[in-house]
């Protein structure tokens, strides 16, 4: 009887050991697979892997842009809404302060107008800035732009507000698409 009990306990221990070893192999295969998947992504998309959330900064709207009815707050709300709909965490002001070195999505809108031209010329940048490590000389952490989309163009003043909102929306949509490629479980 003791002999049978010993064999049963030994068999259970052997099965548990086999399962643990098999699971470790499965886990390592998953890690290797994820590393291979990430390694095949463009560098800009690779830089989004593991980014858990962002805060949003919109700036550089000048008088001409504001005269068309645009505000930084309007853009910020639009962007944050799109990010949340996609399942990307938008950090609050308190979280941003607590993690001042965290990633942020920076949208800048620069405009130029000429007195004799009814069009507003613009440049829009949608950039992800986050801490990066320099490995030259001494190792140090600095902030760098790791993801970027830019566009330039012009709209008549009457179409500038809506056109610019659509341009920013397209840049943010590209960020969201690439973020979700980099972080498929999100």
Average pLDDT of the segment spanning 106-119: 92
Q: Is the pLDDT of residue 33 over 80?
A: no
Q: Which of 34, 42, 24, 25 is nearest to 146 (CA)?
A: 42
Dihedral sign computed on CA atoms, order 76, 79, 68, 154? positive
Which comes out higher in pLDDT, residue 124 or 139?
Answer: 124
Give Cβ neighbours of residue 86 (< 8 Å, ≥ 6 apart). 176, 179, 180
* Mean pLDDT rounded to a whole number for the chain: 81
Q: Is the pLDDT of residue 34 over 50?
A: no
pLDDT in tens, 61-92: 888 888 889 999 999 999 999 999 999 999 87
Q: What is the pTM of this model?
A: 0.76
pLDDT in tens, 126-179: 999 998 888 777 777 788 899 999 999 999 999 999 999 999 999 999 999 999
pLDDT score at 138: 78
């Amino acid at each position: 009887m003791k002999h049978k009990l010993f064999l049963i306990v030994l068999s259970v221990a052997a099965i548990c050991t086999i399962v643990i070893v098999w699971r470790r192999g499965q886990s390592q295969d998953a890690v290797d697979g994820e590393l291979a998947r990430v390694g095949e992504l463009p560098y800009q998309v690779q830089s989004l892997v593991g980014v858990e959330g962002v805060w949003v900064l919109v700036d550089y709207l000048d008088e001409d842009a504001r005269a068309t009815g645009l505000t930084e707050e309007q853009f910020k709300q639009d962007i944050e809404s799109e990010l949340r709909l996609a399942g990307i965490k938008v950090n609050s002001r308190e979280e941003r302060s607590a993690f001042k070195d965290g990633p942020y999505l920076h949208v800048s809108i620069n405009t130029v107008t000429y007195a004799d031209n009814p069009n507003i010329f613009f440049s829009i940048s949608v950039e992800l800035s986050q801490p990066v490590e320099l490995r030259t000389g001494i190792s140090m952490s600095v902030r760098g732009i790791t993801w970027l989309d830019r566009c330039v163009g012009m709209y008549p003043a009457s179409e500038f507000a809506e056109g610019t909102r659509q341009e920013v929306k397209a840049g943010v949509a590209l960020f969201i698409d690439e973020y979700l490629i980099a972080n498929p479980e999100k």
